[in-house]
Structure 1
Amino acid sequence: MRQRWRAVLVRALRWAAWAAAYALGLAALVLAGAWVWWQKEPEARGTEVNALWARHQWVGEPHGDGEYRALARLLKENRITDVYFHAGPFEADGTVPPAKYRNARDLIEAMRRHAPDVRSHAYLGQIRVVDGKGVIDLDDPAVRERVLRTDATFLDLGFDGIHYDFEPIYPDDEAFMTLMDRTRELTRARGRLLSVALEQPTLLDAAQPVYKALIPRTGPVHYPPRPTARFLRRVADRADQVAIMTYDVHLPTQSLTGWHFARHTRATLELIGDRTTVFIGVPTYRTPLEWAETLPVALRGVRRGVDELDRPPKRPYGVGVYADWTTRPDEWARYREVWPPAGGAVKGA
């Protein structure tokens, strides 16, 4: 009996060793293939339509004219056409206390003086209530109405648009779509813009029902709120701009990270690039895998993705830099080396 169990154990260990070797070999092939793919220098240059997420202090605290001039100079040098100034977050009832944006009017007036070609958006969002967890319940019509009244307040202050960042947003979120419809009515009636930040799209739409069935939507382990192709098209048909939060990759090598940015750039532009302006989000903050996920890697990946398009999209596109408060001068210098086209003036989307 003991010998039989020993033989079973030996066979099990042998199979485990073969399985481990196979997995390691497959991983090595993937890494090698990604490395070879990554070596080609991108041909595509960047664009003159780009966005920047900006810190809350711009609307919440006073600034001198020299600070506003410096901001305007940075935007012009880096071909930033749209700035999402953090102006929230929303309270649970859909409002934003005026004390949080007491400097907003001064900011807007300074932007009109020093950066008249740059659009200033009120960047508003909150943690969406999902399955009883979260802060703001967009399923409540009264909350949505107060969100719209808050949007109108920011437009009255002079913002050029409303930029939503509610998280998480799942592709079956009809309350969010209703809010998008109503907000579009508001912004278009005022001649302003509606933009939205969304998570990176799914790698495989067909896997979403499996995730939904097997993994909860809340808790430390939950299925990711990735937009499906259908959902992304629906959002694009309602928004003037869609910014894809392509960062937080957590891949171990530059080549795999670059492939991630290239893949999402190509897929997103092919899917909605003819419908709306698209910004591919690129990071400048420090990540746990900071040797792999850097601004130069992200920009190179975006350019490789543009190279792989059969044709350019009909609508403008560019990158969205996240964020102004984490971008060092040397990163802006590198950005200017590899992204904006040489010469030319800032153009609108």
Structure 2
Amino acid sequence: MTGTVRKGRARRALRRAGWAAAFLLGLILLAPVAAWAWWQPEPKARGTATNALWARHQWVGEPHTDAEYREFADLLKVNRITDVYFHAGPFEADGTVPPEKYRYAGALTTAMEKYAPDVRTQAYLGQIRVVDGEGIIQIDDPGVRARILRTDEIFLDLGFDGIHYDLEPIYPDDRAFLDLLDATRELTRERDALLSVALEQPTLADAAQPVYDALLPRNGTLRHPARPTEDFLRDVAGKVDQVAIMTYDVSLPTRSLAGWHFARHTTATLELIGDRTTVFIGVPTYRPPVMPWAEDLEVALRGVRRGIDRLDRPPARPYGVGVYAAWTTSADEWALYRASWLPPETEKVGG
């Protein structure tokens, strides 16, 4: 083979590589443009009157005045919050919560029953789940699960209307988590109480999970993201009364792409489990540490409404948003929420 032929082939190979790189670059540049164009029309869907709120630990751990309870109850009513997840944990490694951490829980539930009787108060309990030797609570241990159930009983005895689990990370092969849900469901049904869970946003493609497993070592943070597959999410939805999807922390560079993220997860989740359980799509009232200019409450609510627009029909069960969190939501953000999300008082969309 002559040098001239070799150089010609090399030039052709370089040209092909250049065209391929240009094509990929075009796709990368096209995505934000397409997302921007898609983002412009105003959503047609209205929000709902079934909504949740995560509330800080101080409500169970510190004393409050009667006026403070009334003020909080008024905030819940005017913003049509139906469920509040009051942080009551975290669990200790053995599945207990020290009593000194929730010494004012009874006063809280009494005040809520007095001033906001239609709002469901749930004890928000979580911890870092042991995975591949890393974490705090080992729910694979039947003894730990039994103590978790005893802790749940304590909070139900204190007047809470339900138990809200936020155990992380939860992978879609986590049999122990499903066993815990089964046992807790027996308890909550006996007590006429609710069982709810917070889960990470589902996978974009279930088929990608084996690829993650093949490429990343399964030790702690290097394992694939702890996101539920469709089958796992269906399993969980069949065992609980509510699923709150932690859709926030988008980490996308533009507001339209972040909005697409909320829309996509709203449509996919409601289509998958909206007929089986109440779904709350988590929306943030804080600025995330990564790309804070792209994600806020306005983007999230608009994205959720765009996702509802894409549904062929409304879900059979109630649905709404879960505001994260009470302690980061300003008066201006509550006003935005009411204006852009809540339906007129005469409507009861989603609940």
Q: TM-score, normalised by structure 2?
A: 0.94
| Alpha-carbon shift at residue 329 of structure 1 (Å) | 1.0
Partner residue, 1:97? 98
Paired with 2:218 and 2:187, the residues of 1 have a C-alpha distance of 31
Given candidates 321, 324, 332, the residue that maps to 2:323 is 321
Change in Cα spacing, 1:348 to 1:246, as seen in structure 2 (3 Å) is: closer
| Alpha-carbon shift at residue 222 of structure 1 (Å) | 2.9
Change in Cα spacing, 1:176 to 1:219, as seen in structure 2 (3 Å) is: closer
Query: In structure 2, the residue corresponding to 1:205 is in which secondary structure?
Result: coil
Does 1:161 pair with 2:162?
A: yes
Paired with 2:296 and 2:283, the residues of 1 have a C-alpha distance of 8
Paired with 1:144 and 1:285, the residues of 2 have a C-alpha distance of 33
Q: Deviations over 1:3-60 (max 9, x none)?
A: 9999999888766654443322111211111111111110111100000000011110
Partner residue, 1:71? 72
Q: TM-score, normalised by structure 1?
A: 0.94
Paired with 1:219 and 1:12, the residues of 2 have a C-alpha distance of 42
- 2:147 partner amino acid: R
Query: In structure 1, the residue corresponding to 2:125 is in which secondary structure?
Result: strand
Paired with 2:159 and 2:350, the residues of 1 have a C-alpha distance of 18
Query: In structure 1, the residue corresponding to 2:329 is in which secondary structure?
Result: coil
Q: Structure 1 regions of 5+ residues with no counterpart?
A: none
| Alpha-carbon shift at residue 251 of structure 1 (Å) | 0.5
Q: How does 1:1-349 map to 2 (within 5 A)?
A: 17-287=18-288, 288-344=290-346
- 2:228 partner amino acid: P
Paired with 1:219 and 1:169, the residues of 2 have a C-alpha distance of 12
Change in Cα spacing, 1:8 to 1:54, as seen in structure 2 (3 Å) is: farther
Q: Is the 8 A contact 1:117 1:348 kept in 2?
A: no
CA RMSD of aligned residues (A): 2.2
- 1:156 partner amino acid: D
Q: Is the 8 A contact 2:132 2:220 kept in 1?
A: no
Change in Cα spacing, 1:219 to 1:179, as seen in structure 2 (3 Å) is: closer
- 2:337 partner amino acid: Y
Query: In structure 2, the residue corresponding to 1:126 is in which secondary structure?
Result: strand
Q: Is the 8 A contact 2:213 2:223 kept in 1?
A: no
Paired with 1:59 and 1:216, the residues of 2 have a C-alpha distance of 40
Paired with 2:9 and 2:63, the residues of 1 have a C-alpha distance of 74
| Alpha-carbon shift at residue 73 of structure 1 (Å) | 1.1
Q: Deviations over 1:309-338 (max 9, x none)?
A: 000000000000000111111111100111
Q: Is the 8 A contact 1:81 1:346 kept in 2?
A: no
Paired with 1:101 and 1:348, the residues of 2 have a C-alpha distance of 33
Change in Cα spacing, 1:283 to 1:299, as seen in structure 2 (3 Å) is: same
% same residue: 71
Paired with 2:350 and 2:259, the residues of 1 have a C-alpha distance of 28
Q: Structure 2 regions of 5+ residues with no counterpart?
A: none
Q: Deviations over 1:187-226 (max 9, x none)?
A: 0000000000001111111221222232234344331011
| Alpha-carbon shift at residue 65 of structure 1 (Å) | 1.2
Query: In structure 2, the residue corresponding to 1:243 is in which secondary structure?
Result: strand
Query: In structure 1, the residue corresponding to 2:42 is in which secondary structure?
Result: coil
Q: Deviations over 1:61-111 (max 9, x none)?
A: 001111111111111111100000000000000000001101100111111
Alignment size in residue pairs:
349
Paired with 2:326 and 2:217, the residues of 1 have a C-alpha distance of 34
Q: Is the 8 A contact 2:320 2:350 kept in 1?
A: no
Paired with 1:84 and 1:136, the residues of 2 have a C-alpha distance of 21
Q: Is the 8 A contact 2:79 2:338 kept in 1?
A: yes
Query: In structure 2, the residue corresponding to 1:107 is in which secondary structure?
Result: helix
